[in-house]
Amino acid sequence: MSGAAQGPALWRQLQVGAGVLAAIRAGSSGTAVLDGVPGPLRPGVQALVYAALRELGRAEALRKLLAPRKPSPAVDALLCLALALAWRDEGAPYEAHTLVNQAVEAAKRGESTRAQAGFVNACLRRFLRERADLVAQTDADPVAQWNHPRWWIERLQREAPEHWQAILDANNRQAPMTLRVNVSKITVADFQGRLRAAGITAWRNGEQGLTLAAPLPVQQIPGFVQGLVSVQDGAAQLAAPLLLRGLAHQPGLRVLDACAAPGGKTAHLLELSDAEVTALDIDPLRCQRITDNLERLGLQARVQAADAGRPEAWWDGRPFDAILLDAPCTASGIVRRHPDVRWLRRESDVAQLAAQQARLLQTLWPLLKPGGRLLYCTCSVFRAEGEEQVLAFLAHNTGARLLPSPGHLWPTLGRKGDAVTDNQLSDHDGFYYALLEKGAG
């Protein structure tokens, strides 16, 4: 990003971005708030807000030094947005003086900040004068250092003592764009050749995955509209192959995708098999997204708006051969794609969501045929939503057996262009997988 970049004025992007940040801090989803930003402003505002969310812990620590008495939410959001973007030169979208000048201009032009524009100016000018000293004063604060809530850092230190720093570091990086090739229509090698012919660099990432060297609008990806590829993280691409291993060509295979929206895993199941797939989601609008994705790919499933936890409302009584339970979770494994998640979650959410996951496991298990399989997964790095959840289920369900499974996958940063000769994952989000088999007796 350059200070000379064309488009909406930087002060306007900062003004709108501060409003987005204030809404997120008040509890709104970043995706939902950004959807309400006018089209021409949205790309620039999203880039600024996401960059700031990845540095918000440092920004809040700096703001406390500059203004110990917390200002109004609108002023605080503008200050923290500017501080997050300007506190260090490495990776900054604009030069620090430019950011400060434009943030002050944003304050002067905003209804909710105009009266405090002088205060904003004084804080940010002091920051420019004393930046090195102020940053040094915040270095000992783990929230400033790692840009995650304290409870999140401490939980990972306990649960993943050998990996917690790498997890947090990965979370603070922007995720790449990874594609899943629809192998029912084209091979991965052939599609990679199409990309190469279009001047697009990509490398293998898993069995059906290709990671782009630089993200693109989907309309610019050759074959996307025709259903040759979908956008899906490498770790999420493991679900369908794991569940279908040895089952894909079984006649009359019946599969349930219990929490299916937006439909990526549903589509992958259908790309790899001739199964009869039932796809559920509790939200009718999200069900429409499943349908839209399947239509683009030329695939069909039975899509229902229903609560997977209340099968009496939707189940026809015929047991399934396989069930995919991608359970609601903290989304703590996909923070690099959704940097607002870390600031929206509360520690109490972990136990509440774990209880919901346990109920879904117990409710869906009877819907599985003897000898059938259930794949439990979450995009979480917390053990309460992964290993602990499954161990508790196995302890109370002696007819269940844990098959070879990946378990916890920590978010991993791949090195661009690395050769992966055996198609292993080279860059992926955090996930948990456990494949459970139901006893025949």
Which sequence positions are flagged as catalytic? 379
Three-state secondary structure string covering 275-293: CEEEEEECCHHHHHHHHHH
Phi, psi angle pair for 408, to nearest 5°: -80, 125
Which DSSP string corresponds to 180-244?
A: EE-TTTS-HHHHHHHHHHTT--EEE-SSSEEEESS---GGGSTTTTTTSEEE--TTGGGHHHHHH
Pairing between β-strand 320-326 and β-strand 431-438 as defined by DSSP bridges: unpaired
Structure tokens at 204: 């293998």
Q: Comparing C-alpha atoms, which of 420, 353, 355 is closest to residue 392?
A: 355
SS3 of 316, please?
coil
Number of Cβ within a 10 Å radius of residue 88: 13
118: region left, alpha or beta (phi > 0 left; psi from -120 to 50 alpha): alpha
| Single-letter amino acid code for the residue at 374 | L
Helix, strand, coil content of the chain in percent (nearest 5): 45, 15, 40
Which DSSP string corresponds to 368-391?
A: EEEEEEEEEEES---GGGTHHHHH
How far apart are alpha carbons 243 and 372 in whole angstroms? 10
Q: Are the C-beta atoms of residues 61 and 79 closer than 8 Å to each other?
A: no
Number of Cβ within a 10 Å radius of residue 1: 11
How far apart are alpha carbons 334 and 355 in whole angstroms? 21
SS3 of 269, please?
helix
428 DSSP 8-state letter: B
